[in-house]
Amino acid sequence: MAEVATSPRRSRITPEREAELYEAVLDLLREVGYDGLTMDAVATRTRSSKATLYRQWGGKAELVARALRHNKPVSAADIDTGSLRGDLLQMVSRQDDCKMEQDQALMRGLFHAIHGNPELHQAMRQLLIEPEITGLNELLRRAVARGEIAADHPALEYVIHMLVGGFVAREIVEERLPDQEFLQRYLKAVVLPALGL
């Protein structure tokens, strides 16, 4: 399978038009889900031609992954508060709870759509997951460089696993989505102590 380019194929569309298009894709995703979303519907909703959509984004999987990336308020790579504790707290405080809940419903639908859809899986991986992992690793690397934590601290390679646990397990245990208050308590009770902070 071909690599997905890290930015959309260059063209004459403006950033404003691109943002408008991504918003329309997210609205459609919320309305009909990934499997129900068609390029025809995106073309109609955005008054674009399907040919333009395919030329610009290659296909539905890439278009959807880019729309989701556009929707992220800030990525791990952009966080740099000067301390590891501050960086991690900011990672879980990026959104208001209402938006967070909407986005979690959207993401849950997509993670189910990934099952049995290798094209969507690859696009999500390259455009959403890998940049976040890279950003988090960079943030940890800076903490090591500042001397906040030893380079060989055993919990360092599991920060992402701990965070994933915080994001997904509350629904299993309590049938409630995590909110900011929960994530901050979890960070202080689990992630920071495991890192010795």
Task: Confirm if 186 and 83 have CB atoms less than 8 A apart.
Answer: no
Residue 166 interacts with a copy of itself (CB under 8 A)?
yes
The minimum distance between CB 89 and a copy of itself, in angstroms, equals 16
- Total interface residues for a copy of itself by CB under 8 A: 30
CB within 8 A of 35, min separation 6: which ones?
A: 113
**Which of 60, 86, 62, 90 has the alpha carbon at shortest distance from 75?**
90
CA dihedral defined by 141, 183, 161, 102, rounded to 10 degrees?
-110
Q: Is 107 in the site for a copy of itself (CB under 8 A)?
A: no
Interaction between residue 189 and a copy of itself (CB under 8 A): yes
Residue with tokens 């902070």: 197
* DSSP 8-state class, residue 161: H
How many Cβ atoms from other residues are within 10 Å of residue 80's Cβ? 12
172 binds a copy of itself (CB under 8 A): yes
Q: For residues 51 and 59, is the Cβ–Cβ distance under 8 A? A: no
**Does 69 sit near a copy of itself (CB under 8 A)?**
no
What part of residues 123-152 is at the interface with a copy of itself (CB under 8 A)? Answer: 129, 133
Q: Does 163 bind a copy of itself (CB under 8 A)?
A: yes
Q: x/- string (CB under 8 A) for a copy of itself, residues 15-54? A: ----------------------------------------
Give the residues lining the site for a copy of itself (CB under 8 A): 108-109, 112, 115, 129, 133, 154-155, 157-158, 160-166, 168-170, 172-173, 185-186, 188-190, 193-194, 196
